[in-house]
Amino acid sequence: MLGVQLVQEQRLRLSITPEIKQSLHVLTLSGQELIRYLQDAAAENPLLELEEIPFSPYRSARGTERLWHGVYDPLLQARRAEPTLEEVLASQIRIAIAPEEQKRAAVYLAGCLNGNGYLKIELTEVQSDLGMSINEVTAGLKLLQSLEPAGVGARNLQECLLLQIHRDASAVPHAAQMVQAGLEALVPFHPARIAARLGITAQAAQRAYDYITQLDPKPCRSIGSDESPHYVIPDAAVELVNSEMVLSLYTAGNLRVSMNEACSSWIRKASPGERWVHRAAEARAILRSMQLRRRTLLRVITAVLDEQKRFLSEGPDAIVPLNLAVIAERIDMHESTVSRAVNGKTIRTPYGMYTLKAFFDTGVKTLSGTETSSSAVKRRLKEIIRSESVNRPYSDSQLAAVLAEEGIVISRRTVAKYRDELRILPSLERKRWV
């Protein structure tokens, strides 16, 4: 028979408390995300206080690490909103010498351009909207296409390139003829074929092609961009002082997080209820999460830079292969914790801004038995291609052979992969005939 009985047993189970979840979440946030998180938390919890902090560097016992409380606000360098493309063109139309009806049509067409300066509306539709003749709308389009930058108001890429060529007094001969013949002949480009098609020499075709590739296919993309600028607040900064590494941690937007003493004292003395006790516990948990984040970041960044010591003195080419397991073992943390600490973090170095992930690179074996980073191999590959003969560019096999002579052993397929990642054309399309 089956029976029912009560059994008491003891088990060990790993459980993540809400406070641990909060600490892990705070650790994954970048500097800018942390600012928003703290501001939202302070808006919901009256016990939390945020205040600007003055310059007050803190140096740790090691003498090579410090916590930086200096005023660092990149938003002070932010530019004001730029005029839109429509406003830029309208200001040119206002001072143009043309009939008013033509100006009105040009202003309307300027408002119909996309972000790259192309007109994606039919002239018959504009004619219907404005109640003008097709000749007046066409005249307005010609006025629009005469404005700066050259190529604005084009209806397709071919017309955009032709507008730029016709406005350029130093345009290379046969460039307009080559564009009019069709853009499909330019990709891929073969000088002998296009020369035979147009009745010109291969050298003339190559010069015209080189000129065309310097034209801007999106002439208005930098004017009145709808995308807001992205400003990066570094989480840390590193520099060499007397051949010694000095690491500085930036606080989150120069904000000091603390608990309101008056509210805390009131809660302890008056015992207002469970709600306020819960709020106080939340505030203390956020403060502990911030302290843990700071300590973890300091340990992780210090370990990463110790592994990449040559980077500070020799530059990006000296980055060595590195993975999360090495850092995790060095600082006695789990790989997932190191991954969270590295995610989204930026560090200011003597060679510019770098993400922490940039210091974790795969390795490529060399003949000496050591390893070099794949990013260093890519930079060397780019240098070799930049110095090659334009008449006889290296094939992927030849590039692999040149790297092998320097002690870097990679296959032709790996060379092709790196070249694609660098957005470098194959040898046939890099070849120049002049």
- The first and second tokens of residue 323, run together, are 């993975």
Helix, strand, or coil here: 402? helix
Low-confidence ranges of the chain (pLDDT < 50): 55-72
- Residue 165: the pLDDT is 92
d(CA 297, CA 295): 6
- Residue 73: the pLDDT is 53
Q: What is the DSSP string of 312-381?
A: HHH-GGGPPP--HHHHHHHHT--HHHHHHHHTT-EEEETTEEEEGGGG---EEEBTTS-EEEHHHHHHHH
Which amino acid appears at position 113 of this protein? L
Which residues touch 179 (CB under 8 Å, ≥6 apart)?
Answer: 158, 161, 162, 165, 212
Which residues touch 306 (CB under 8 Å, ≥6 apart)?
Answer: 245
Angle at 280 between CA 16 and CA 276, to 5 degrees: 115
378: left (phi over 0), alpha (psi -120 to 50) or beta: alpha
Q: Do domains 84-155 and 363-430 have the same CATH topology?
A: yes
Tell me the CA distances in angstroms from 303 to 81, 294, 298, 326, one per residue in order.
Answer: 41, 14, 8, 9
Token pair 């005023």: residue: 71
The CATH label, of 1.10.10.1330, 3.30.450.40, 3.40.50.970, 2.40.50.200, for the domain at 84-155 is 1.10.10.1330
d(CA 81, CA 330): 47
**CB burial string 17-31: b at 16+ within 10 A, e below:** eeeeebbbebbbbbb
Q: Give the domain ranges of the chain.
A: 18-72+233-359, 84-155, 172-223, 363-430
- Residue 392: the pLDDT is 85
- Residue 310: name the closest of 250, 369, 232, 370 by CA: 370
- The first and second tokens of residue 431, run together, are 């070849």
Strand partners, 52: 255
d(CA 48, CA 284): 9
- Residue 58: name the closest of 354, 295, 265 by CA: 295
Are 240 and 21 contacting, i.e. CB atoms less than 8 angstroms apart? no
Kind of pairing, strands 346-349 and 255-259? Answer: unpaired
**Residue 393 φ then ψ, to 5°:** -70, 155
Which residues touch 175 (CB under 8 Å, ≥6 apart)?
Answer: 165, 208, 211, 212
Are 328 and 12 contacting, i.e. CB atoms less than 8 angstroms apart? no
d(CA 277, CA 286): 14
- Residue 178: name the closest of 260, 191, 48, 217 by CA: 191
- Residue 268: the pLDDT is 67
Q: Before 188, cis peptide (omega within 30)?
A: yes
CATH 1.10.10.60 fits 363-430, yes or no: yes
